[in-house]
Chain A
Amino acid sequence: MNRLLKIELTKLTSYSTFWILTGIALGFYVLILYAGAQINFNIEGIDLQVYLRFPVIWQSIAYYSSWFNLLLALLIIILTTNDFVFRTVRQHVLDGLNKQEIFISKLQLILLFAVVAFAVNFLAGFFIGSIFTDGYNSFFNDFYFVLVYFINVLGIMSIALLISILLKNVGASIVVFIGMYIFELILRGYFALMHLNFGQFLPFKVFSNLCPAPSLKKMISDPLIKQSIEQSIQTSSNWEMPVGMNVAFALLYTTLFLYLGYYLFQKRDL
């Protein structure tokens, strides 16, 4: 295994806070998923379980999994600021790592978390989809939601990494991370009121747009109701960024946040 990743895993595997947070999150993840799978209203023309079948399950599970992004951001903040608080980042340099290697080790940790989150997301989607769908004919339709979920997770963690390097303090970093999210919500609300589309380009919105909630119309099987819902959505909806452009912006933001984090880390004394 890669030496830098081994170093990060040595810190991680004996860290009880990590296991507690991950355990709680996984518990909730499975519990809510299980509860969601049990819900089924018997109303004519409405099929709630469509969200649990292929191919819609990929979008449902990506949207649902993105609720847990805060936990991943929290973990990155704790693990990064720990190194500043305990001054072990300085000790690592004294022991022979250079700043670039330290940054790469954090990047590898982010990638590892993203891969694990992606795998959990895929397995949960595959498992639930297999239970509720007869056959795998439409398996790969909408599968791209699982792929863009990976970018979504990566982007959110890149913001967390940048804030952690900037503030070097766990409490302040969490407050600023959540504060940024709330501030962006307010800003988006303001832009929407002004009938401006700028809100779609703000980072949290760009990332959350990657994993949107599945459309309500998908559960409507009656074509007449479906058509009227579609019409009302068309007349009321604001402009939404095309998927390709959204992915490009998400990648751009991720690269920018990681670069800023790297630049700041290189510039500062330890």
Chain B
Amino acid sequence: MKILKIEGISKRYGVNQAVKDLSLTINRGDVYGFLGPNGSGKTTTLGIILGVIRPDSGFYEWSEEINSIGALLETPNFYPYLSLQKNLEITALIKQVDFSEIDSVLDKVGLLNRRFSKYYSLSLGMKQRLALANVLLGNPQVLVLDEPTNGLDPQGIADVRQIINDEAKLGKTIILASHLLSEVEKTCTHVAVLKKGEILRNGAISELLKVKRSLIVSSDENERLFELLVRSGLFKKVDKKEDTIYIDLGENMSTKEVNEFAFKHNIVLTRFEMLEKSLETEFLNMVK
């Protein structure tokens, strides 16, 4: 079921095109990652769908069933002179939830013992945790998190991931922006890769995560081998550059079958090398 539909949104800041004709759909229960380098338009896109930035064109539409969204955009924003408790009381008033819920969210992010500390006295990591507590207050159906692990130490990052995973298990829809591939890889079910405000690729992360397995082979009879491989139609893609043949194995073929194929045609392979392309390589190639 559709939770959010974005249709052709664009936003320009002076000469800088922050988001360009961006369209996508997010379904209930998705953990949707917006992945891209700094300045790729992730935060602007989230700002638009959260109503704090006006798009120049296009529109977005949240499902009518959604009545609560918890959001963290860029840096945590609180009153420095107020305690954590008072800051969350303001959020509780806005979200119209009982103050008694404050304890549980502070406990969840490990800040219950600092509830009466002033916000300005917190470390960067603690501020980020408070922002997460703010998001979780009122048990929203959708979480929108922009770089939620910013400023956190390794333990903090693991804790935040755990919280996100726990919330996802409850069936909540989570939209997460990050420039860290590992973060998206470990937490998301879907991903949209952004570059200069445009979506380069999007879809289920399981699809994108599939390792593209390529094989590099050579032999003394390279021309004949290349022709046989192409004519066989067994392999997804076969390319030849100078003395090297590149074989895209696809999903059904294995390296063993290539070896057997050459042997069957009395060709001795002088080079036989596996080339694995990870999502990271793919991501770097995309945003280069």
Interface of A toward B, CB cutoff 8 Å: 3, 6-7, 10-11, 14-16, 82, 86-88, 90-98, 269-270
Chain B 41-89 residues near chain A, CB threshold 8 A: 47, 50-54, 68-69, 71-73, 75, 77-83, 86, 89
Given that A6-B93, A10-B90, A94-B50 are contacting pairs, would A87 and B77 also be in contact in the complex, using a CB cutoff of 8 Å?
Answer: yes
Interface centre among B47, B52, B69, B72 (most CB of A within 10 A): B52
Within 8 Å by CB of B93, from A7, A14, A93, A94, lies A7
Q: Closest Cβ of chain B: how far from A81's Cβ, in Å?
A: 13
Residues of A within 8 A of B69 (CB): 94, 96
A128 to B79, CA, bound (A): 41
Interface of B toward A, CB cutoff 8 Å: 47, 50-54, 68-69, 71-73, 75, 77-83, 86, 89-91, 93-96, 134, 144
A6 to B95, CA, bound (A): 13
Within 8 Å by CB of A95, from B53, B81, B83, B91, lies B91
Whether B77 contacts A270 by the Cβ 8 Å rule is: no
Q: Closest Cβ of chain A: how far from B202's Cβ, in Å?
A: 24
Whether B94 contacts A96 by the Cβ 8 Å rule is: yes
Residues of B within 8 A of A94 (CB): 50, 52, 69, 71-73, 144
Whether A269 contacts B47 by the Cβ 8 Å rule is: yes
A93 to B94, CA, bound (A): 9
A86 to B90, CA, bound (A): 14
Whether B86 contacts A14 by the Cβ 8 Å rule is: yes
A82 to B53, CA, bound (A): 20
Q: Which residue of A lies closest to B46 (CB)?
A: A94
Within 8 Å by CB of A93, from B51, B82, B134, lies B51
Whether A95 contacts B134 by the Cβ 8 Å rule is: yes
A7 to B82, CA, bound (A): 13
Q: Closest Cβ of chain B: how far from A92's Cβ, in Å?
A: 6
Residues of A within 8 A of B134 (CB): 91, 95
Q: Closest Cβ of chain B: how far from A266's Cβ, in Å?
A: 10
Given that A95-B91, A269-B53 are contacting pairs, would A10 and B86 also be in contact in the complex, using a CB cutoff of 8 Å?
Answer: yes
Residues of B within 8 A of A87 (CB): 75, 77
Within 8 Å by CB of B50, from A10, A15, A16, A93, lies A93
Whether A86 contacts B79 by the Cβ 8 Å rule is: yes
A15 to B78, CA, bound (A): 13
Given that A90-B52, A90-B73, A269-B54 are contacting pairs, would A97 and B78 also be in contact in the complex, using a CB cutoff of 8 Å?
Answer: no
Q: A88-B77, A91-B91, A94-B52 are in contact. List 13 more A-B contacts (CB 8 A).
A: A3-B93, A11-B90, A14-B82, A14-B83, A86-B77, A87-B77, A91-B77, A94-B69, A94-B71, A94-B144, A96-B95, A269-B47, A269-B52
Given that A7-B94, A92-B94 are contacting pairs, would A86 and B80 also be in contact in the complex, using a CB cutoff of 8 Å?
Answer: yes
Whether B78 contacts A91 by the Cβ 8 Å rule is: yes
Whether A10 contacts B95 by the Cβ 8 Å rule is: no
Residues of A within 8 A of B83 (CB): 14
Whether B95 contacts A95 by the Cβ 8 Å rule is: yes
Q: Closest Cβ of chain A: how far from B207's Cβ, in Å?
A: 31
Q: Closest Cβ of chain A: how far from B76's Cβ, in Å?
A: 8
Given that A3-B96, A94-B52, A96-B94 are contacting pairs, would A11 and B75 also be in contact in the complex, using a CB cutoff of 8 Å?
Answer: no
A88 to B130, CA, bound (A): 14
Could you jot down 22 A-B contacts, CB within 8 Å?
A7-B90, A7-B93, A10-B82, A10-B86, A14-B81, A14-B86, A86-B77, A86-B80, A87-B77, A88-B79, A90-B52, A90-B73, A91-B78, A91-B134, A94-B73, A95-B91, A95-B95, A96-B95, A269-B52, A269-B53, A269-B54, A270-B52
Q: Closest Cβ of chain A: how far from B9's Cβ, in Å?
A: 14
Q: Closest Cβ of chain A: how far from B273's Cβ, in Å?
A: 51
Residues of B within 8 A of A3 (CB): 93, 96
A87 to B80, CA, bound (A): 11
A7 to B93, CA, bound (A): 7
